[in-house]
Amino acid sequence: MTLKQLRYLIAIVEAGSFSSASRRAYIAQPALSRQIGLLESELEMQLLDRQHDGIALTDAGRQLYEVARQVVQKLDSVKDELKSSRGDPKGHVAISIPATAADLLLPEIVRRAEQRFPGVTLTVWDGLSREGGQAIELGKVDFGVVPNAEELENVEADPIFIESLYWVGASAPGAPDTITLAEAAATRLVLPPRALHLRRRVEQAAMEAGVPLAAAYEQQSAPGIASLVRAGLAATISNWPPLSELLEPTAARRIVEPRISRTIALAHSQHKPLSFAAGCLRDLVRSVLVDLVNSGRWRGELIGKEAEPLESVLGVQLAV
């Protein structure tokens, strides 16, 4: 069994056929078939079921494909790590960010990553907080921006800032810029599903304060929530990033008595140490978060050393 054969097996499975894989791998189809045949002969079992419209994996083939993919990814990451030098990281980095902050974070992260680390291929997952947390726990991503690091297992978390939650809805002229949780809960609310940490945090605060809380509507997507709020059919409770989409013609009022807050952190799996490239991207994402808070685009209170300019902490000048 050779590394080349494992790469060929992966190429065939992901292309769906020998012909497509031969074009992608730049190898003649007969030679590709011969390599897979040699692999099957060595293992004394069939890996692929050849069909007229492609291939299907046997049970043995599926098991070997999963192992092969892990082996090849690990070897490729080692090669990238060896090629990397200080200030010139190379390789693939996958990160996760909350869906509610994607409009704010994604352009900033991609723009800065392209400028500073052109040798890094970046994949950004944006999804529900539970999905992002699971991706970090399982090592499917190198690290992520999460509001629920305290719920995750076997991760290392780096708290960046504390954010408050806001009530967003139609408000009378001259209304104060704060609202009690009891007042907010008494309005007709549209809330995200419990898969989002924000919903769970609001319900936890309401339970601890003895405030009845019931959602009139539940919407999974931010556009769906925004449409009901802008139409005046409901108010919602949100963190700051999505509010630029919600404010007109509504108003945002910070929730007090009690204040509802949560910590935004960078986290990665304890079982997947950060590569040099991933470490560079984590520092870059940290700088994005700090700059967004300092500029007021993401309202929050920086924690500890993050309250200092990142350049002074790292002793370098970051491109912005």
Q: What are the boundaries of each domain within the chain?
A: 3-83, 91-162+263-314, 166-259
The CATH number of 91-162+263-314 is: 3.40.190.10
Quickly tell me which residue has 């192992």 as its tokens. Answer: 67
pLDDT for the residue numbered 247: 61
For the cut 80, the answer to whether the pLDDT of residue 142 exceeds it is: yes
3-83 and 166-259: identical CATH topology: no
For helices 3-15 and 18-25, the axis angle rounded to 10 degrees is 120
pLDDT digits (tens, 9 = 90+) for 76-132: 666 665 665 555 788 889 999 988 888 899 999 999 999 999 999 999 988 766 677
Beta-bridge mates of residue 217: 190
pLDDT for the residue numbered 128: 65
Q: Stretch 145-159: mean pLDDT, rounded?
A: 89
Q: Which CATH class is domain 166-259?
A: alpha beta
> Is 95 in contact with 285 (CB distance < 8 Å)?
yes
Matching CATH number, 3-83, of 3.20.10.10, 1.20.140.10, 1.20.810.10, 1.10.10.10 = 1.10.10.10
Q: What percent of the chain has pLDDT over 70?
A: 88
pTM of this prediction exceeds 0.85: no
| Tokens describing residue 217 | 């509507």
| Tokens describing residue 36 | 């897979």
pLDDT digits (tens, 9 = 90+) for 249-283: 678 899 999 999 999 999 999 888 888 889 999 99
| Length reported for the chain | 320
